[in-house]
Chains A and B, each alone.
Chain A
Amino acid sequence: MERNQLLEQVNAIFIDTLDDETIKISEATQASDIPEWDSLTHIQLVVAIEKHFSIRFNSKEIQSWKNVGEMIDCIQTK
């Protein structure tokens, strides 16, 4: 899948999980850029992304991403 397509789908997951229609993520977006994105909602994002793409992240990966771009890198390795 193309990266921009991935980004679009991940964006939709962010909107649904964080329940905020206005969220517009880019590859550079970090947790600090989105008020609702904290350690608890991070877990919900992880589970929602896993479900959407039918993949599983390992426990190290969950903690490792510095921004959305790295998250997408990780999805692409699956």
Chain B
Amino acid sequence: MNFQELKKNLKKDFSKLKQLKIALLGDSATQLLHQALKGIGFEYGWDLQIWEADFDQIERQIFDINSELYQNKPEIVIIFRSAHRLLDKYNKYPAENQKNLADNELSLIANINATIKEQLGCKIIYYNYTEIDDSVFGNYATKVESSYLFQLRKINYELMLFAQNNSSFYICDISALQNKVGRDTFFQSSIYINTEIVLSINILPLVVEKTIQLINVLYGKLKKCIILDLDNTVWGGIIGDDGLENIQIGNLGIGKAFTAFQYWVKKLKLRGIIITVCSKNTESIAKEPFEKHPDMVLKLDDIVVFKANWDNKVDNIKTIQSSLNIGFDSIVFIDDNPFERNIVRENISDITVPEMPEDPAEYLEYLYSLNLFETSSYSNEDIERTKLYQIEEQRNALRTTAVNEEEFLKNLQMHSLVESFNKFNIPRVAQLSQRSNQFNLRTIRYTDLEIEQLANNPNVHTFTFTLEDKYGDNGLICVIILREISKTTLFIDTWFMSCRVLKRGMEHFVLNTIVDYVKRNGFLILEGEYIPTAKNEMVKNHYLDLGFEKGENLWKLYVGNYQKKNNHINLKTNIYGKESTTRTS
């Protein structure tokens, strides 16, 4: 989309879209950035309520705690400090101080971050610096610490280190964007001179696209799974016709493109994307390259679900989706065949289907440009995810052979560790809070920082549950947050659970555990609420099924006459040998 089209979106109806309050602060003129951001938000279902600071008011707005910024209470603060203003600053430095530019900037940024964190506790999106080579030293600038290019690159590098250690601080990497499209596209001198606008009108759509991708994942809109076609997608040629020796992969010619593509998919797998296959093939033939071809990068154990048959792809994809229990909007389907792509697109509305280039040599550059796999977290859970889903497939196999459900559950030998929030589990709690959509009663998203604040709030009681069984450990899969709303009543602010552990009796175990806690701490009533979203229909009757009584808006459970619910999960005590759910405060 070009800027003009984004601007036309501003006249459309935002009333049904999800509102999100954003503050935009820049040291250059940001009016057009504001319009473009609002316009791109519409494309992704957001009604961005953008408050824009006056020109070059960043520091005043942030360091004056009575400023409009703080009165506005945004959920995200976007800060755009441009490389041009940085250069102005550098130009005014005495020569002997030039080498300190990066350090000074970073301490200012750290200050900005700390102040916003203290006042708002919200997320910060910070645009990094697009490179300007002032050509004072030429190539030699790379050897001169006090050169502008050296200092600018140092800031960009140090910013990444800073972001690593500050969980609510996110960098929007417009420097990478400029590297791709070139500085001459990014910046137009004649416009800058007349208006103080540093982003050219042609680049604005790409900058806001990159920004909205970041915002989307902060609010749980992310991709979790790839479904791959095989012939002419994963390798060149058709395995059924050409045979194992003649498919194209490896170091020669077009084979290189497929190998590079496979390495990319493998990297995605390692970072937590679930890889599955959907191919029109005879299964044994389709699996042959994975088992026997020396140049295959992807192996069968990288693949969670392998569907090779002659049924139509729409049905196969629906089967894959339901066995993984994730939304279609978190799935990317990659297929070289336009016919298959169109059928899938027409029948499954939310799925992402990249319009792959005809030439396989272009596959990767095209996929890079889409930036489909934006994320806002990365943890050990991600690395282990493929294994977890594979184990789940084994469980499903056992489920189908077990005499009955009870027998199956008993045989699983399930244990759950129950803990309140602590520094070890907070990152995972925050991650699940962002990711979980279906089994989520109120879908209130919390960041690391907010989770930390909840852990320290004496009026809030927090619980995390893990689930392991004889096949393996699912890790932390359920979170409960209870708020004291009166001397007698605890309100279930949050109850979400990973869909990996559905139908195991986990809900019963969780309710038994919290009712027990509620009683021991002298409360009488548990209150719950269901807030419907497009995705959580699954838990519509959650409180009804658990025996809560319907009140006016809320569901109530009087814990006095609570009967323990039947389940096959055993409480596991943690390594300290105590039940960490006991809290006296």
Interface residues of A, Cβ cutoff 8 Å to B: 16-17, 19, 39-40, 43-44, 46-48, 56-59, 62-63
CA distance A9 to B38 in the complex (A): 29
Does B8 sit at the interface, judged by CB under 8 A?
Answer: yes
Could you show 30 A-B contacts with beta carbons less than 8 Å apart? A16-B4, A19-B7, A19-B8, A19-B11, A39-B195, A40-B31, A40-B32, A40-B195, A43-B32, A43-B191, A43-B194, A43-B195, A43-B197, A43-B201, A44-B3, A44-B4, A44-B32, A46-B191, A47-B200, A47-B202, A56-B190, A57-B190, A58-B190, A59-B189, A59-B190, A59-B193, A62-B190, A62-B191, A62-B194, A63-B194
Q: How far is the CB of B29 from chain A (nearest CB, A)?
A: 8
Number of B positions contacting A (CB below 8 A): 18
Q: How far is the CB of B413 from chain A (nearest CB, A)?
A: 66
Find chain A residues with CB under 8 A from B188 CB.
47
CA distance A22 to B65 in the complex (A): 47
CA distance A56 to B11 in the complex (A): 30
Q: Which residue of A lies closest to B29 (CB)?
A: A40
Q: Which residue of A lies closest to B189 (CB)?
A: A59
Contact of A47 among B7, B191, B193 (CB under 8 A): B191
Q: How far is the CB of A18 from chain B (nearest CB, A)?
A: 10
Q: How far is the CB of A43 from chain B (nearest CB, A)?
A: 6
Q: How far is the CB of A5 from chain B (nearest CB, A)?
A: 23
Given A44-B4, A63-B194, 16 additional A-B pairs, CB 8 A:
A16-B4, A17-B4, A19-B8, A39-B195, A40-B32, A40-B195, A43-B32, A43-B191, A43-B194, A47-B188, A47-B191, A47-B201, A47-B202, A48-B4, A59-B194, A62-B190
- Taking a contact as CB atoms under 8 Å apart, the answer to whether B190 and A44 are in contact is no
Q: How far is the CB of B309 from chain A (nearest CB, A)?
A: 50
Find chain A residues with CB under 8 A from B191 CB.
43, 46-47, 62
Given contacts A16-B4, A62-B194, contact A44 B189 (CB under 8 A): no
Find chain B residues with CB under 8 A from A63 CB.
194
Q: How far is the CB of A11 from chain B (nearest CB, A)?
A: 16
Find chain B residues with CB under 8 A from A43 CB.
32, 191, 194-195, 197, 201
Q: Which residue of A lies closest to B32 (CB)?
A: A40
* Count: A-B pairs, CB below 8 Å: 37
Q: How far is the CB of A64 from chain B (nearest CB, A)?
A: 11
Find chain A residues with CB under 8 A from B197 CB.
43
For window 1-49 of chain B, which residues contact chain A by CB distance below 8 Å? 3-4, 7-8, 11, 31-32
Q: Which residue of B lies closest to A61 (CB)?
A: B190
Q: How far is the CB of B286 from chain A (nearest CB, A)?
A: 49
CA distance A62 to B195 in the complex (A): 11
Q: How far is the CB of A16 from chain B (nearest CB, A)?
A: 7
Q: How far is the CB of A46 from chain B (nearest CB, A)?
A: 7
Rank and list the top 5 A-B pairs by shortest CB-CB distance, nearest first. Answer: A59-B190, A59-B193, A47-B201, A62-B194, A40-B31
Q: Which residue of A lies closest to B10 (CB)?
A: A19
CA distance A34 to B200 in the complex (A): 24
CA distance A46 to B195 in the complex (A): 12
Find chain B residues with CB under 8 A from A16 CB.
4
CA distance A67 to B355 in the complex (A): 46
Find chain A residues with CB under 8 A from B31 CB.
40
Q: Which residue of B lies closest to A62 (CB)?
A: B194
CA distance A56 to B189 in the complex (A): 11
Q: How far is the CB of A44 from chain B (nearest CB, A)?
A: 6
Find chain B residues with CB under 8 A from A46 CB.
191
1/0 per residue, CB under 8 A from A, across B183-206: the answer is: 000001111011101001110000
Q: Which residue of A lies closest to B11 (CB)?
A: A19
CA distance A46 to B193 in the complex (A): 14
Find chain B residues with CB under 8 A from A39 CB.
195
CA distance A2 to B184 in the complex (A): 32
Q: How far is the CB of A69 from chain B (nearest CB, A)?
A: 20
CA distance A47 to B3 in the complex (A): 11
Q: Which residue of B lies closest to A44 (CB)?
A: B201
CA distance A17 to B188 in the complex (A): 19
CA distance A47 to B187 in the complex (A): 12
- Which of A43, A46, A57 has the most chain B CB within a 10 Å cutoff? A43
CA distance A39 to B193 in the complex (A): 13
Q: How far is the CB of A36 from chain B (nearest CB, A)?
A: 11
Q: How far is the CB of A8 from chain B (nearest CB, A)?
A: 19
CA distance A26 to B201 in the complex (A): 26
Find chain B residues with CB under 8 A from A47 CB.
188, 191, 200-202
Find chain A residues with CB under 8 A from B4 CB.
16-17, 44, 48
CA distance A43 to B195 in the complex (A): 8
1/0 per residue, CB under 8 A from A, across B167-194: the answer is: 0000000000000000000001111011
For window 149-166 of chain B, which residues contact chain A by CB distance below 8 Å? none
CA distance A40 to B29 in the complex (A): 10
Find chain B residues with CB under 8 A from A44 CB.
3-4, 32, 201
Find chain A residues with CB under 8 A from B193 CB.
59
CA distance A47 to B11 in the complex (A): 22
Q: How far is the CB of A70 from chain B (nearest CB, A)?
A: 16
For window 245-303 of chain B, which residues contact chain A by CB distance below 8 Å? none
Q: Which residue of A lies closest to B7 (CB)?
A: A19
CA distance A39 to B190 in the complex (A): 14
Find chain B residues with CB under 8 A from A56 CB.
190
CA distance A47 to B31 in the complex (A): 16
